Amino acid sequence: MPELPEVETTARGLRPRIIGLRVVRVGGVDWTRMLPNSTEAELQAVLPGLTVKLVDRRGKYLLIEFEQDQWLVIHRKMSGNVLLRPGNALPEAHTHLEIELDDGALLRFVDPRKFGRVYLFRSSVELNEFLGERLGPDSLIDLDATVLAAKLRKRKGRVKSLLLDQAFLAGIGNLYADEALWEARVHPLRTADSLTRVEIRRLAAAIKTVLVRGIERNGTSFSATYRDIDDRPGENQAFLNAYGRESEPCPRCGRPISRILIGSRSAHFCPRCQKR
């Protein structure tokens, strides 16, 4: 599942290549539930003729702003990818939206498992209302030890579960949560209110570290689903310390990495470095 680093990689890839381009055509919608707050007809009425002004990210949402304060917002969920293909590119299986730009390029939303969603917002007020209801502080932009300490205070939940809660902290999913907790040497089952000030400081730094590393390596393509805008996998999967490494040696101490279930989600950790 794409998390913050994968969405950030997509935003950074798109920014220099689509800002300033004008929408020529919108089409290819074959899955109406992908558009929770609009229709293909509405996209076709609104977007053609408008120029891309900005590409950004909030949590795991990719934001594309067009002229006249119109916004397309993409959440890729399990398997969604945003590809920028040349005008003569062959059709891609599982394409659910295609936007042709005036240099001929095709912006495609491709999603085999169909959990991904594309929203249309008719103003930044509408957009911010939507994001504000769903997202806590952004784990790359807004997070530091003070913010994290304030968020964790008086919370009794397990730290791993809180990290996955987008309204608590936006952008982190299962993979980067496991990596951050390993990096910070915090056991995933610890409760939020049991973390010491030193551990909170370490965790805030670790979150930033694993996200920045993920971005520098163009994201993580675990189980080969995530692709960048040119359909290339990321490189970070070769550098994971805990996630997906059950029974393999901890890179810090050599003890085998453990895997447990917390609710329905798996958690990978080192039982020696991350004490209960």
Q: Which of 2, 5, 137, 188 is catalytic?
A: 2
Residue closer to Zn ion (CB basis): 237 or 241 = 241
Where does this chain touch Zn ion (CB under 5 A) — which range of 52-60, 92-100, 138-146, 249-257? 249-257
57 is catalytic: no
Q: Please say whether the beta carbons of 259 and 245 come within 8 A.
A: no
Q: Give the number of residues in contact with Zn ion, rule: CB under 5 A.
A: 6
Distances (CA, A) of 184 to 20, 28, 253, 269: 42, 45, 14, 11
246 is catalytic: no
- 273 lies in the binding site for Zn ion (CB under 5 A): yes
Q: Please say whether the beta carbons of 26 and 47 come within 8 A.
A: yes
CA–CA separation, 70 and 150 (whole Å): 34
* Strand stretches in 91-223, DSSP E: 95-101, 106-110, 117-121
Q: What's the distance, Cα to Cα, between the start and end of the chain in Å? A: 28
- 253 lies in the binding site for Zn ion (CB under 5 A): yes
- 185 lies in the binding site for Zn ion (CB under 5 A): no
- 250 lies in the binding site for Zn ion (CB under 5 A): yes
Q: Which residue has the tokens 């689903």?
A: 225
- 186 lies in the binding site for Zn ion (CB under 5 A): no
Interface with Zn ion (CB under 5 A), residue from 252, 259, 260, 265: 252
Catalytic site positions: 2-3, 60, 265
Q: Which residues bind Zn ion (CB under 5 A)?
A: 250, 252-253, 270, 272-273
